[in-house]
Structures are given as structure tokens and as C-alpha cells.
Amino acid sequence: AKPTVFVITPTYARLVQKAELTRLSQTFLHVPQLHWIVVEDSPHKTPLVTDLLVKSGLTYTHLYMLTAKDRKLQEGDPSWLKPRGVEQRNEGLRWLREDRRAQPGGDNQQGVVYFADDDNTYSLQIFEEMRSTQRVSVWPVGLVGGMKYERPVVEGGKVVRFHTGWRPSRPFPMDMAGFAVSLKLVLANPEACFDGEAPMGFLESSFLQGLVTMDELEPKADNCSKVLVWHTRTEKPKMKREEALQAQGLGSDR
Ligand code: UDP
Ligand code: MN
């Protein structure tokens, strides 16, 4: 059997949430052996996400973990001030480790873990690329870091440095969307998680540092020459007219 791809997605309530999760779930429907771990940034599971998952046709696990108030980006804060989705990704990891321990048989360590934010754009091919991950695999990410793409630079089949516009000296100067980790490695390192206190740009490194060295990274996507995932961001919809109608008691209720 193919190794399962476990996809961990943090998500939070806002106007575009249902649209984002609809697009994502319909991409994932095209991917065989995918298990979607959705972690809501909420004090409980919401009906919107519950309903969407039930109707999705996907294999999934529905979790929630509210971001602590002092960790949460406030309205008006610049988006780089605090990392987002940290506690949710860690909750996904916690669930995986616990669940896999409980699964009987030798098959319970077969798999790959990928962190997929709900607003990015994923080519189907990236899931087939990552499926053969032995430890940590890497590939380019489009439209990120103020660049057309960031990517690991490969020479002689090995990653030798990173093409990035900012602090290339970081241990792993890569976006979350640019790597996958084998389930075996995640289980063998029960302490590995994302450090929400890590300085800006070091979140990915905080997780990967304990798991691999640059030398061990497995380049995918044709030696990291193809962009198969994009760090797209969705514009916040303007609600000017809606608010005007609401003031007259005529707003839409959903
Ligand atoms: N997210 C979250 N809680 C928040 C803000 C974001 O769970 O308060 C999730 C979001 O749904 C996404 C991930 O964390 O899956 C990364 O957030 P975002 O896409 O806003 O980050 P950026 O694109 O700016 O890196
Ligand atoms: Mn995003």
C-alpha cells in the first residue's frame, strides 16, 4: 500500500474560511491515501467546519486548539509580528503521535506528514513527490518571502544552500509549505514541535532543527527546479455595503 499522507491544516473563522476549506478539500479529494487533520483555532469544534468535513468525502480528523490570547495577532498588527497556526500544528502533531501509538501492526509508522495552510495553492503532483519521503523532503514554494519563489539549491543531488531573499543563514530558511517529514521521524522525535516564541522567520527551523541536517534533505520536484505549491493569500473581502444594510436591519444573516 502507498504510505498515507497526513496533512495538518490550521484554520480559523473568518468570512473566507468556508471558501478556503472548500477549495482545499476538493483538491485533496484528488489525492489517494490522504488523511486530513484539521485543527480549528477555536475553543470548540464549530458547526461550519464539522459540516464541511462530514460532507467532504475525505478521511479526516477534526481537532481544535485555541491560540492563547497573548500569542494571537490582533486586528491592526502587522502580519509578521507573530507566527500563526503554531499551536494548531502542534496539536495535530500531538494527536498523530498518540493515535499512531494506539494503532496495532507494523504499518502504523508508514506515512508522511505535511503542513498545509488553508489559503495556499497545491498542485496534485506535490503529494506524489512527498509520498516517498524517507526523513525530510524539500521543494520550492512560489510567491513567498517577497520573491517569485524560494527554493533549496541542489548540487550533485544534495541541497547545498537556499535561494531566499532574507537571512539565508537561518538553519532552514524555508516556508512551511516547502517540506514534508516522514511519520517515522516524527514518532522517533516526540519532542519536536513548532516554537511559537522563535524569532520571526525561525518557526520552520525550530521544528526541523532537531530532526535533520541540510545534508540529509531529500530534494523533490525535479531537484527543486519546479514550483508545485504557492503561498497564495486571500484578500480580505470588503463588507462596506453589507455593513450599511446591517445598520438598516437588512443585512444577510450568513
Ligand atoms: N491561522 C489560525 N489562526 C489565526 C491565523 C491563522 O489558525 O489566528 C491559520 C490559517 O488558517 C492558516 C495558517 O494559520 O492555515 C497560517 O496563517 P496565514 O495563512 O494567515 O499566514 P500567512 O499566509 O500570512 O503566512
Ligand atoms: Mn497563508
Query: What value does the mean pLDDT take over residues 12-29?
Result: 98
Ligand 1-lining residues (CB < 6 angstroms): 9-12, 41, 67, 72-73, 79, 84-85, 88, 117-119, 233
CA dist., res. 184 & res. 154, Å (int): 25
* Predicted TM-score (pTM) above 0.90: yes
Pairing of strands 147-155, 141-144: antiparallel
Query: What value does the mean pLDDT take over residues 83-89?
Result: 96
Cβ contacts of residue 86 below 8 Å, gap of 6+? 67, 71, 194, 195, 196, 203
Q: Give the nearest ligand 1 atom to 88 CA.
A: 7
**pLDDT band, residue 254 (cuts 50/70/90):** low
| Grid cell for residue 109 | 509508522
ipTM of the complex: 0.99
pLDDT at residue 2, as a whole number: 93
- SS3 string of 39-105? EECCCCCCHHHHHHHHHHCCEEEEEECCCCHHHCCCCCCCCCCCCCCHHHHHHHHHHHHHHHHHCCC
